[in-house]
């Protein structure tokens, strides 16, 4: 594990770092599953400056970063998921150069404390069925698969598993 990782709430100054990590992580994790064009489209749609800033500033959401020497190397973003009446991890990504260092686990610990402080008793995460690394991660930290759904990613349909964890 990297000893000099600092975990803190995200701020507007972190947008570029979050976008860089998203770009690297999405290409590494999803390009083989969704294709490069779909990955680029989703990054453009979900990771524009306004989208990230809105998440960072939203009072009902929690957004954390992990930084090494001031550089963002991971982030976690969670908040309400009204259709299912639970909270959800919207985003959890770590720079591929820092995978398997415990950063994602520690980011989720920050999220869980924030959710606990909000009196949330359970939360969910959606993981592509083809994302074996993501599935293994969530199962290893106590999430249980509770549902399955088909999701459209810019015209490409993929199966996602819904995982839930009680706090």
pLDDT value for 155: 87
What confidence tens digit (pLDDT) does each residue in 57-115 have? 999 999 999 999 999 999 999 999 887 788 999 999 999 999 999 999 999 999 999 99
Q: What is the pLDDT of residues 36-69, one digit of tens each?
A: 999 999 999 999 999 999 999 999 999 999 999 9
- Cα distance between residue 70 and residue 43, in whole Å: 23
Q: At what angle do helices 15-34 and 36-46 cross, to 10 degrees?
A: 150
Mean pLDDT of 16-30: 97
- Supply the pLDDT for residue 84: 74
Per the listing, tokens 């404390």 go with 113
Does residue 1 register a pLDDT over 60?
Answer: no
Residue 20: HSE in the Cβ half-sphere, 13 Å Cα cutoff = 13
* Spatial distance between the Cα atoms of 18 and 101, rounded to a whole number of angstroms: 18
Domains by residue range for the chain, with CATH: 5-121 (3.40.630.30)
Q: What's the rounded mean pLDDT across residues 6-25?
A: 98
pLDDT band at 3 (very low <50, low <70, confident <90, very high): low
Burial class for 123, CB neighbours closer than 10 Å (0-12, 13-18, 19+): buried
pLDDT at residue 22, rounded to an integer:
98
User: pLDDT (tens digit, 9 = 90+) per residue, 142-157?
Assistant: 999 999 999 999 888 9
Angle between helix 15-34 and 49-57 (nearest 10):
120
pTM (predicted TM-score):
0.93
SS (H, E, C) the chain: CCCCEEEEECCHHHHHHHHHHHHHHHHHHHHHHHCHHHHHHHHHHHCCHHHHHHHHHCCCCEEEEEEECCEEEEEEEEEEEHHHCEEEEEEEEECHHHCCCCHHHHHHHHHHHHHHHCCCCEEEEEEECCCHHHHHHHHHCCCEEEEEEEEEECCEEEEEEEEEEEC
Does position 139 have pLDDT exceeding 80, yes or no? yes
pLDDT at 2 over 60: no
């Amino acid at each position: 594990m990297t000893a000099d990782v600092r975990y803190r709430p995200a701020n507007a100054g972190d947008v570029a770092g979050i976008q860089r990590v998203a770009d690297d992580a999405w290409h590494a994790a999803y390009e083989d599953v969704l294709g490069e064009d779909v990955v680029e489209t989703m990054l453009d749609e979900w990771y524009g400056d306004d989208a990230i800033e809105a998440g960072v500033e939203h009072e009902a959401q929690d957004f954390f970063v992990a930084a090494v020497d001031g550089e963002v190397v991971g982030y976690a973003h969670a908040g309400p998921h009204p259709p299912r009446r639970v909270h959800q991890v919207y985003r959890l990504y770590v720079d591929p150069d820092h995978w398997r260092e415990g950063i994602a686990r520690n980011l989720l610990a920050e999220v869980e404390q924030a959710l606990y402080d909000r009196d949330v008793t359970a939360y969910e995460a959606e993981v592509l069925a083809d994302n074996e690394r993501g599935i293994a991660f969530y199962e290893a930290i106590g999430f249980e698969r509770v549902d399955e759904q088909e999701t459209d990613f810019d015209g490409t349909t993929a199966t996602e598993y819904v995982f839930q964890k009680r706090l």
